[in-house]
Structure 1
Amino acid sequence: MRVQTTIEIFDYWNRIRGAADAPLKAQVEPSAVPHLLQSLFILETREEGDIAFRLAGTRICDLFGRDLRGARFSSLWANGQHADIERTAMGVMDHVLPALFNATGYSTVGHQASFEIIMMPLRSPGGACDRLLGAIAPTAAASWLEIVPLEFLALDRSRLLPGKFGNAEAAELRPINEIVAAKSVGFGQVMRRMVSQLLTSAEAR
């Protein structure tokens, strides 16, 4: 994790969840992170079975040149990756484990930019994880991003975030869902294997 926006929102998510595996959505206070709001989003599952934007910060909407509220999260991604992206986002909720994505954004005129995208599970009052708090941020400044909208994102890799950053010990980031390598392996199997490896590593120390 290299971008200050993703580091700060992950630290905030860790802080409000305390000892729980995920915070309640009611615990998220926009006033606690006002400088990050433009880059934040909240996703929710819908009755149709897909995952859509409940909220999207103005900077994210500006990146794509449209209001994203109600839009499918997978609609931001390259053709051929839609099912993988939705399955991965659903897996983050099902297994209550945050994930970090590295992606390349492509504009309508051929520009390219690298992005970090983080997704962290949120619980409803009833206990179910049915929403995701996240952020999208470029890894480097690019003046054209304020003028030319992105056409789509292409996933480069995704990684599980098992530990806390900041003052706490940072656990090593582990790959979880390389698009090519994971086609024959279910997300749940990957997650269980990674958690098992992390526990074994911790016990060995």
Structure 2
Amino acid sequence: MRLQTTIEIFDYWNRIRGTADAPLKSQVEPSAVPHLLQSLFILEKRDGGDIGFRLAGTRICDLFGRDLRGERFSSLWANGQHTDIERTAMGVMDHAMPALFNATGYSTVGHQASFEIVMMPLRSRDGACDRLLGAITPAAAASWLEIVPLEFLALDRSRLLPTHFGRAAPADVRPVNEVVAGIGARFGQVMRRMVSQLLSVEAR
């Protein structure tokens, strides 16, 4: 975890959960982190079995050039990664274990940028984890991000984040994240080659 936004929202999530493995969604107070709101999102598990955006900050919506509320989370990701991304997000809720993603975003005209994405579980009053609090943050400033929307994200790496009492990741979660990370790394390499080839063709 390297970016200030990611660190701050993870620290906030840690504070409000106390000794619990995940805080109640009612404990999240936007007024406590006003400077982070534009980069935050909340995902929810929906009746159809998928995961969608309940809320998305203005900066996230600007990155993709549209309002993401109600959209399926996996729709932001590259073809071939939808199932793995959704399975990992479900795992974060099912096991109440936060996760960190490193991804590359690709624009419609071939630009690319690195992103850090964190997802942390939230509980309902009935005790079930059915929502995720998260943030999407570019690793470096890029002027084109304010002008050209991202077409999709490609996962490069993912890992579970340690929580209190040195709790280890459940055995059945680790393989999912390792598989997703491997697929993401290979896919990112392939996409970079494809983008380079496309740009070289256009330059001729």
Question: Does the CA contact (< 8 Å) of 1:99 and 1:158 recur in 2?
Answer: yes
Query: What is residue 94 of structure 1 aligned with on the other side?
Result: 94
Is the contact made by 1:156 and 1:178 (CA closer than 8 Å) also made in structure 2?
A: no
* CA gap 1:155/1:180 in 2 versus in 1, 3 angstroms: closer
What residue in structure 2 maps to residue 63 of structure 1? 63
Classify the secondary structure of the residue corresponding to 1:36.
Answer: helix
Contact 2:108 2:151 in 1 (8 A): yes
CA distance in 2, matches of 1:64, 1:157: 21
Alignment-derived partner of residue 135 in structure 2 = 135
Say whether 1:179 aligns with 2:180. Answer: yes
Partner residue in 1 for 2:25: 25
Q: Secondary structure at the match of 1:37?
A: helix
Moved more, 155-164 or 69-78: 155-164
* Structure 1 residues not aligned, in runs of 5+: 183-205
1:126 and 2:138 matched = no
Root-mean-square deviation over aligned CA pairs: 2.0
- 1:75-90 equivalence runs, <5 A: 75-90=75-90
Give the distance between the partners of 1:63 and 1:3, measured in 2 at CA. 17
Task: Please tell me whether the aligned partners of residues 157 and 178 of structure 1 are also in contact (alpha carbons under 8 angstroms).
Answer: no
Distance in 2 between residues matched to 1:19 and 1:148, nearest whole Å: 43
Aligned AA (2:75): S
Paired position in structure 2 for 1:74? 74
What is the CA-CA distance between 1:181 and the residue it aligns to?
4.5
Distance in structure 1 (CA, Å) of the matches to 2:181 and 2:10:
27
Q: TM-score, normalised by structure 2?
A: 0.82
TM-score, normalised on structure 1? 0.82
Q: Which aligned segments of 4 or more residues in structure 1 are displaced greater than 4 angstroms?
A: none
In 1, the alpha carbon distance for the partners of 2:92 and 2:61 equals 23
Post-superposition CA distance 1:24-75 (Å, at most 9, x none) = 0000000000000000000001111000000000000000000000000000
Please name the residue that 1:196 is paired with.
none
Amino acid in structure 2 at the alignment position of 1:179: V
**Shift of the alpha carbon at 1:127?**
0.4
**C-alpha separation between the residues in 2 aligned to 1:177 and 1:11?**
25
**Which amino acid is the alignment partner of residue 64 of structure 2?**
F
Unaligned stretches of 5+ in structure 2? Answer: 169-173, 184-204
TM-fit CA distance, 1:180: 6.2
Equivalent residue runs for 1:2-13 within 5 Å: 2-13=2-13
Cα distance in 1, alignment partners of residues 96 and 114 from structure 2:
26
Shift in alpha-carbon separation, 1:31–1:49, aligned structure 2, 3 A: same
Q: Residues 6 and 118 of structure 1 are in contact (CA less than 8 Å); yes or no, is this contact kept in structure 2?
A: yes
